């Protein structure tokens, strides 16, 4: 049976302007691979309502699970919650459960729960809250869309709390062989091997070492026996 599929939507002008280097995609990719969920696409869009709506609609119909990062804070450029609600045609209000969480948090800190902070309680009707153990403001799950914070520590904590809720498939495993030959030298035999194992994915990643060409050959798949079979063949070819 095929693994469930996923897509990620990174939201933020700061990524597209080059101010900030996104690290959430790489983190999520590794976690999904371990969980047996195939990440098939990622997109990065700016803090623009129409761009977010279009991307959420396209991705949420194309894959089993969508994960977003960014744009759920208290400032005017944090428009993700409203855009996701619009994309899925769901009403959104300051919800009582989120208001209560945040009110208690700011009361403890002794700072006013002002209008801007109340923005973070805007949660679509019917959405499930995602716990934020770091700064309280929750993410949420609406339909198959998981809306999470962009700050990496918070994003990672939110991923840790939602992944166990999802039914994964067989984890994608990989084995690799490092050979001190250029890609062009091994490509024919490697391609022929890949054609013999259509159930596995084989990729080659070149590197240079002291001016010489080398290649990391990577085989990925979900069946350990097939993976081992292919690695035996690969090692016989190039080991």
**Contacting residues toward its own copies, per CB under 8 A:** 12-23, 25-33, 38-47, 51, 73-77, 106, 111, 114-117, 119-120, 151, 172, 174, 182-188, 190-191, 194-195, 201-206, 218, 220
Closest contact distance (angstroms) between CB of 9 and its own copies is 10
> Which one, 125 or 205, has the nearer CB to its own copies?
205
Closest contact distance (angstroms) between CB of 79 and its own copies is 11
Residue that is written with structure tokens 């005017």 in the block: 76
Q: Which two tokens stand for residue 88?
A: 């899925």
- Alpha-carbon distance of 189 to 129, in angstroms, equals 51
Most distant CA atoms of the chain, gap in Å: 68
Closest contact distance (angstroms) between CB of 224 and its own copies is 17
Closest contact distance (angstroms) between CB of 104 and its own copies is 15
> Is 218 buried (19+), middle (13-18) or exposed (0-12) by CB count in 10 A?
middle
Give just the sign of the alpha carbon dihedral 158, 160, 165, 170. Answer: positive
- Alpha-carbon distance of 215 to 206, in angstroms, equals 4
- The H or E element that residue 7 is part of is strand 5-11
> Which one, 75 or 128, has the nearer CB to its own copies?
75
> Which one, 90 or 118, has the nearer CB to its own copies?
118
Closest contact distance (angstroms) between CB of 122 and its own copies is 13
Closest contact distance (angstroms) between CB of 173 and its own copies is 10
Q: Would you mind telling me the total number of residues written for the chain in this entry?
A: 239
177: phi > 0 → left, psi -120 to 50 → alpha, else beta; which? beta
- Alpha-carbon distance of 237 to 239, in angstroms, equals 6
> Which one, 90 or 197, has the nearer CB to its own copies?
197
> Which one, 8 or 125, has the nearer CB to its own copies?
8
> Which one, 79 or 92, has the nearer CB to its own copies?
79
């Amino acid at each position: 049976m095929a693994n469930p599929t996923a897509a990620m939507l990174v939201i933020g002008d700061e990524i597209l302007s080059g101010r900030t280097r996104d690290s959430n995609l790489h983190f999520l990719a590794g976690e999904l691979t371990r969980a047996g969920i195939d990440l098939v696409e990622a997109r990065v869009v700016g803090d623009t309502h129409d761009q977010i709506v279009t991307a959420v609609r396209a991705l949420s119909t194309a894959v089993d699970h969508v994960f977003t990062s960014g744009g759920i804070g208290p400032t005017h450029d944090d428009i993700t919650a409203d855009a996701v609600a619009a994309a899925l045609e769901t009403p959104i209000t300051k919800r009582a459960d989120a208001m209560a969480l945040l009110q208690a948090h700011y009361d403890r800190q002794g700072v006013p729960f002002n209008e801007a902070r109340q923005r973070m309680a805007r949660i679509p009707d019917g959405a499930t809250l995602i716990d934020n153990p770091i700064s309280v403001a929750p993410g949420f799950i609406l339909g198959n869309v998981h809306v999470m914070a962009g700050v990496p520590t918070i994003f990672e904590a939110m991923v840790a709390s939602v992944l166990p809720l999802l039914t994964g498939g067989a984890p994608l495993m990989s084995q690799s062989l490092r050979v001190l030959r250029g890609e062009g030298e091994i490509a024919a035999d490697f391609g022929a091997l890949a054609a013999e194992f259509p159930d596995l994915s084989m990729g080659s990643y070149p590197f240079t070492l002291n001016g010489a060409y080398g290649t990391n050959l990577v085989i990925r798949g979900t069946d350990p026996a097939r993976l081992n079979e292919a690695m035996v063949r690969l090692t016989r070819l190039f080991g």
